[in-house]
Amino acid sequence: MSNPYYPQQPKRRPQGPQPGQLGQPTAGQPPKPPKKPFTPPWAPREPDAPKRNWPWIVGGIFAVLIVTLGVAATMNDYDSPSAADAARNSTTARLTPIATRTMTPEEIAANNAQQEEIRRQQQEQQAKRQAAIDAEKARLAAIEAAKWDRTTYETLGDRDFALVMKNPDANKGRKLVVYGYVTQFDSVTGPDRFRADTMAAPQDYSFLYDHNTVVTGTVPLLVNVVSGDFVTMYVEVSGSHTYSTTLGGETTVPKLNALMLDVTRTN
């Protein structure tokens, strides 16, 4: 029976976790193991604890990144100077006075004499080059003019002419007066060459011309020449020439280039 003078006190719940509460096993279950306290990476580890490698990996990556950024910044400083440095260098170059020295009259006179000597030498060299060019032009003009001067062509005897015809390659370029009888001038030979029997002097009959010869020339020069003509030619020896015969063989004959030609007789 309760004492009216002492009100009934409420029952106190037992202290500490009770079975069935959140995080506590219910009745009949084994108790949960206590949580492992957090240990920072720099804290000393127990002798039997496994090694913690990830702090070293993270630290190594961070160190490599710092070194790379530092090297890149240094190279950028060497390769591309800043705008301030460029402006400062430009200002310094603009404000730096250029050291000059006034030349004495003797030095000025010596310098002028040296320049004048250089100009004189250059003019002499230019004059020599121009004289050489003019001389070569004059030589070529004289050679060309001599081609049309009939008095510059040799007139040979029969023996000397035979020696030239025997070895025309050794007499290339010789200018001769040659007489001949045209033996072939048709579509086979073409309009700028013909075959002729030649001699060193004119003959009365065609069979007296002994040397089978190929004669070339410009088309306007040969336009009025036909087979059977007797001709007087002013020629240059071109060497030897080989052509195919109608019998299927080959023959080698002297070759002459006619610069002037006169038809003296026709059949």
> Looking at residue 235, which CATH number applies to its domain?
2.40.50
In a domain, 84, yes or no: no
Q: How many domains does the chain have?
A: 2
pTM > 0.75: no
125: in domain: yes
| Residues 136, 172 within the same domain | no
Same-domain pairing of 247 and 211: yes
Same domain, 167 and 113: no
Domain span at 119: 108-147
Residue at 239 is within a domain: yes
Inside any domain, residue 92: no
Q: For 174-177, which contacts have Cβ atoms below 8 Å and span 24 or more sequence positions?
A: 174/236, 174/237, 175/146, 175/147, 175/234, 175/235, 175/236, 176/234, 176/235, 176/236, 176/237, 176/256, 177/150, 177/153, 177/232, 177/233, 177/234, 177/235
Alpha-carbon distance values, 36 to 22, 31, 39, 226 (Å): 19, 15, 9, 130
Domain-terminating residue out of 147, 175, 199: 147
Which pLDDT score, from 0 to 100, does residue 235 have? 97
CA-wise closest residue to 236 among 151, 174, 154 = 174
Q: Are residues 197 and 232 in the same domain?
A: yes
Looking at the structure, do residues 142 and 175 belong to the same domain, yes or no? no
Q: Is residue 250 part of a domain?
A: yes
- The residue with tokens 């040979």 is 156
CA-wise closest residue to 31 among 41, 17, 44: 17
Q: What is the pLDDT of residue 199?
A: 96
Domain boundary among 147, 171, 202: 147
CA within 13 Å, CB half, 70: 6
Q: Please indicate, yes or no, whether residues 165 and 259 belong to a single structural domain of this protein.
A: yes
* Gap between the Cα atoms of 136 and 138, Å rounded: 5
Co-location of 224 and 194 in the same domain:
yes
Same domain, 182 and 253: yes
Q: Report yes or no on 1 lying in a domain.
A: no
Residue 105 is predicted with a pLDDT of 86
Q: Are residues 134 and 206 in the same domain?
A: no
Q: What is the pLDDT along the chain (267 residues), one digit of tens a residue?
A: 555 555 555 556 555 555 555 555 555 666 666 666 666 655 666 655 555 666 667 777 878 888 788 777 666 655 555 555 666 666 655 555 555 678 888 888 899 999 999 999 999 999 999 999 999 999 999 988 888 899 999 999 999 999 999 999 999 999 999 999 999 999 999 999 999 999 999 999 999 999 999 999 999 999 999 999 999 999 999 999 998 887 778 899 999 999 999 999 997
Distance CA 74, CA 69 (A): 9
Residue 234 inside a domain? The answer is yes
